[in-house]
């Protein structure tokens, strides 16, 4: 079952949401949101950050309106959070997710 999806915005750009393995290898997943011109560019942005194996299959869990707002208001246009279903957790910049992997 896919835990990702996308939504096309009125201006033509898209917001892509993906569930990816979290840091630490403990089996937990993180929800990552990417704002880009199209789906392929969103995936390319993540691959350029070092997340090489990302892919979007289907549209089972597109971003919610709150998630769209969160990624649109972030200067980088790429955010994540650990708890997939916890709306009380804040969104973090993607640098905070990648930092532990780069230090190892």
Q: For residue 63, what are the CA distances in angstroms to 22, 26, 99, 100, 101? A: 18, 24, 25, 26, 26
Query: E strands, the chain, where?
Result: 5-8, 14-21, 29-36, 78-81, 92-93
Query: Dihedral angle at the C-alpha atoms of 30, 66, 74, 88, nearest 10 degrees?
Result: -60
pLDDT, tens digit (0-9, with 9 covering 90-100), for 56-81: 888 999 999 999 999 999 988 999 99
- pLDDT (0 to 100) of residue 99: 64
**pLDDT digits over 26-62, tens only?**
777 889 999 999 999 999 999 998 887 788 888 999 9
| Range 98-103 average pLDDT | 55
Backbone angles phi, psi at 68, to 5 degrees: -60, -45
């Amino acid at each position: 079952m896919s835990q990702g999806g996308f939504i096309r915005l009125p201006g033509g750009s898209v917001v892509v949401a993906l569930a990816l393995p979290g840091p630490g290898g403990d089996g937990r997943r993180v929800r990552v949101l990417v704002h880009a011109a199209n789906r392929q560019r969103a995936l390319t942005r993540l691959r350029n950050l070092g997340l090489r194996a990302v892919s979007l299959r289907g549209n089972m869990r597109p971003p919610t309106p709150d998630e769209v707002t969160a990624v649109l208001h972030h200067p980088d246009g790429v955010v994540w959070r650990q708890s997939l279903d916890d709306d009380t957790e804040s969104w973090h910049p993607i640098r905070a997710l990648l930092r532990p992997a780069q230090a190892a």
